Amino acid sequence: MPLGNSSAPPQTKFNLLQVKGTWVRQSEDDQVTEGKLSDAKIYEKKSHHGVSWTVVSPIVFTYKVIQCENLLDPRNDTLFWGHLDNEDLNNTSFAKPQPVKRFVVIDETVHQLYGARVREYFDTRQVVYKILPLPTTEENKSLELVIKILQEVHDFNIDRRSEPIIAIGGGVCLDVVGLAASLYRRRTPYIRVPTTLLAYVDASVGAKTGVNFAGGKNKLGSYVPPVATFLDRSFFQTLPPRQLSNGMAEILKMALMKHRGLFELLEAQGSQMLDSKLQSSDAASACTCIAIETMLEELAPNLWEDDLDRLVDFGHLISPQLEMKVLPALLHGEAVNIDMCFMVYVSHLRGLLTAEEKGRIIRCMQGLHLPLWHQDCTLDLIHRSLSERLKHSGGSPRMPLPTGLGQAEIFHDMIEEDILCQAHQMWTSELSSYSK
C-alpha cells in the first residue's frame, strides 16, 4: 500500500550511517553527529503477519564521452589514462610497482587495419597487454562469443578495478565486450573505442550491452555503461561508403526527432560529408557533435530505461524483426532507415507531416545513400513487429513519430489499420524502385 494510506501498517524510515567502518541504521528523527551518511534508505514495516524491509538504494554511474584526435598516437594519453579524473590519477592505488596491464578486444577487420598501431601504442608505454581479435558480426553476436572473451580475460588476469577492458570496433564489438565486462566478477570497467560511424553516434554513448538470442536481436543484455568512450573520427578514413551511410541513419534519427538544424545540415551537406568521410570540416564536426549531444540528452535522464517513452526508439519499431529476418542483407542503420521511412508515411497520413516535409525527408535519405524500402518489410511483418512492441512496452503503445522537421512526439494510441495499410501501399508504390 502507498505511504500515507490510513489503512497501511505504520512504516519506519531508517538512514544508514557508517561509523568506524560499520554501517548502522539510524532513525530519521535522530541527528547525525559523525560518520558517513548513505543515500540509501531502509523502510521497516511491522504487521501481525511479520516484518518487511524495503531497501531504496540509488544507483549513480559516472562515465565520460571524449572526442579527440590521433587516439593511437603514443604521445596521446587518452587511451591510457583518459577514463580517470585527476584525483584518480593522483591516487596511490594506481601507482603500482608492477607494469600496467590492458586487455583489448578488437574486431578482426579493424585489427588488420589498426592492430600494429595498437601494439605500438602499448609497447611504447611498456604496458603488458593482450589483444584478442574476434569476428564481431551480427551473425556471431552470441553468448558463446561472450564466454570466449571471459575465458581469455580470466586467463590474462586483470585487476577488475584499475585495468579496464578495451573494446575497439563497431557496435557489435562494443555490445559484446560490454556484456562480458558486466558479467566478469559482477562488473569490470571497460572502455569503448568505436571505429564505425554508427557506433560512434549510437552504441558507444549509452549503457546498453547485449547479444542476440533465440532469433531475437539483443534479447540478452545488461545496462552497464563504460567508464569512458573515446571518439576519434580518423577511424572513418578506412570505412567503406556503405558503412558511412549506415551510420548517417542514426544521425538522421536524432535530427528528425529533435534538431531541425541538424536535419538541414544533413540535407544541405550530407552527400559532401560522405564523400569526405567526415574528415576535417566544420560540417562534419558539427554534425557528429550535435548527434552525440542530442543522444546524451535523451539517454542521461533514462539510462536504465525505466521510462519506456523514448524518442530514440524511432526507427526501432519494425527494424529489429526486419534486420534479423534478412540477416546479413541489411546493416543495422539501413534497417533503421527503412523503418523511419515507412513511419514518415504514417506521420504524413496522420496529418503530422506535410507533403513538402515528407518529400524533403525522403530526398535527404536519398542524399545519404540510404535504402528507402525493402521487399521483406511486408504489412504482415509490420503487424507482427508492432504487436511484439506492444507486448514489451507495458501494454501501452509507445510510438515516437515526427511532427515536423526536427520535432516529434510519442503517441500512445495504436496506428489505425486503414492508415497502416494506406501508408504501406503508398510507400511501396512510390519507393519500391529505391530498394537495395
In a domain, 1, yes or no: no
CA–CA dist 209, 225 (Å, integer): 8
In a domain, 294, yes or no: yes
Q: Are residues 248 and 234 in the same domain?
A: no
In a domain, 3, yes or no: no
CA–CA dist 52, 30 (Å, integer): 22
> Count of domains in the chain?
3
In a domain, 5, yes or no: no
DSSP 139-153: GG-SHHHHHHHHHHH
CATH number at residue 210: 3.40.50.1970
User: Following CA atoms 382, 388, 391, 396 in sequence, which dihedral angle do they give, to the nearest 10 degrees?
Assistant: -30
Q: Are residues 269 and 361 in the same domain?
A: yes
Q: Are residues 40 and 95 in the same domain?
A: no
Q: Is 202 helix (H, G, I), strand (E, B) or coil?
A: helix
Q: Are residues 17 and 77 in the same domain?
A: no
CA–CA dist 202, 206 (Å, integer): 7
Cβ atoms 277, 237 nearer than 8 A: yes
Per-residue pLDDT of the chain (436 residues), as tens digits, is 344 445 666 789 999 999 989 999 998 778 767 889 999 999 999 998 899 999 999 988 899 999 999 999 999 999 999 999 876 766 644 555 578 999 999 999 999 999 999 999 999 999 999 999 999 999 999 999 999 999 999 999 998 888 999 999 999 999 999 999 999 999 999 999 999 999 999 989 999 999 999 999 999 999 999 999 999 999 999 999 999 999 999 999 999 999 999 999 999 999 999 999 999 889 999 999 999 999 999 999 999 998 999 999 999 999 999 999 999 999 999 999 999 999 999 999 999 999 999 999 999 999 999 999 999 999 999 999 999 888 887 778 899 999 999 999 999 998 999 999 999 999 999 999 876 5
State the Rg of the chain over Cα.
Answer: 24
User: Which of the listed residues 238, 257, 290 is the one where a domain comes to its end?
Assistant: 238
User: What are the residue numbers of the active site?
Assistant: 208
**Grid coordinates of 371:** 535504402
Q: Residue 18 sits in which domain range?
A: 11-56
Which residues, other chains included, contact 78 with Cβ-Cβ below 8 Å and sequence gap of 6+?
66, 68, 71, 230
Q: Are residues 389 and 326 in the same domain?
A: yes
